[in-house]
């Protein structure tokens, strides 16, 4: 039996799935990041590094009333923390990198935190939109593998990880 070439090509093409999604949403007075594990298995321990320094808008974390940030400030605060988390990351005012040490990432159990971001290149430094976070990078290291994603114009970064091994 002969199969049409298009059918054979369709049968052999596989699609990569996004295993971890990180979203940014501007808010007043707190901006919010949500980390969602989309793969079918738990992953961890993991280290997630958020690097604002790669975004063209000159983004910084504004965590205190004194320092590089302007007007309203908000320190890091877990909204939905992972089970077994021991500490809150120390983020200084003006930092561009935030590192989270996560005991686990569980499917369909989003983690969320708030913090204030300011941009250093516009007239409205206290308001950061998804398009301004575009270009910021997020790196995930888990189970000996490091994968990265870049925030798009909508404030979404997708991290494709290797297949579940646990």
Predicted confidence band at 138 (pLDDT cuts at 50, 70, 90)?
very high
Q: Is 29 left (phi over 0), alpha (psi -120 to 50) or beta?
A: alpha
pLDDT, mean of residues 40-67: 87
Q: For residue 7, is it within any domain?
A: no
- Tell me whether residue 128 is in a domain: yes
Q: Could you tell me which residues come within 8 angstroms of residue 91 by beta carbon, excluding any fewer than 6 positions away? A: 61, 63, 75, 76, 98, 115
* DSSP code at position 99: E
What pLDDT does residue 5 have?
46
Task: State if pTM tops 0.95.
Answer: no
Across 15-19, 52-56, 90-94, least confident range: 15-19
Give yes or no for a contact between 133 and 52, defined as CB atoms under 8 angstroms apart: yes
**Residue 101, domain member (yes or no):** yes
Structure letter (DSSP) for residue 105: B
Let me know if residue 143 belongs to a domain: yes
Here the tokens at position 23 are: 């979203």
Q: For the chain, what is the domain count?
A: 1
User: Domain residues for 146?
Assistant: 17-159
Write the burial class of residue 63 (CB in 10 Å: 0-12 exposed, 13-18 middle, 19+ buried). Answer: buried
CATH code for the domain in which residue 33 is found: 2.60.40.1170
Share of the chain above pLDDT 70, in %: 77
């Amino acid at each position: 039996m002969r199969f049409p070439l298009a059918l054979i090509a369709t049968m052999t093409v596989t699609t990569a799935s996004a295993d971890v999604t990180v979203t940014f949403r501007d808010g007043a007075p707190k901006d919010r990041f949500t980390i969602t594990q989309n793969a079918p298995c738990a992953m961890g321990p993991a280290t997630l590094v958020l690097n604002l320094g790669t975004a063209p808008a000159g983004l910084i974390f504004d965590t205190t009333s004194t320092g590089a940030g302007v007007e309203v400030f908000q320190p890091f605060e877990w909204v939905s923390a992972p089970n077994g988390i021991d500490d809150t990351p120390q983020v200084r005012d003006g930092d561009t990198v935030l590192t989270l040490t996560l005991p686990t990432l569980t499917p369909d159990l989003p983690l969320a935190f708030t913090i204030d971001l300011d941009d250093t290149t516009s007239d409205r430094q206290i308001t950061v939109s998804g398009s301004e976070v575009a270009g910021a990078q997020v790196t995930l290291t888990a189970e000996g593998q490091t994968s990265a994603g870049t925030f798009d114009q909508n404030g979404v970064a997708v991290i494709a990880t290797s297949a579940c091994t646990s």
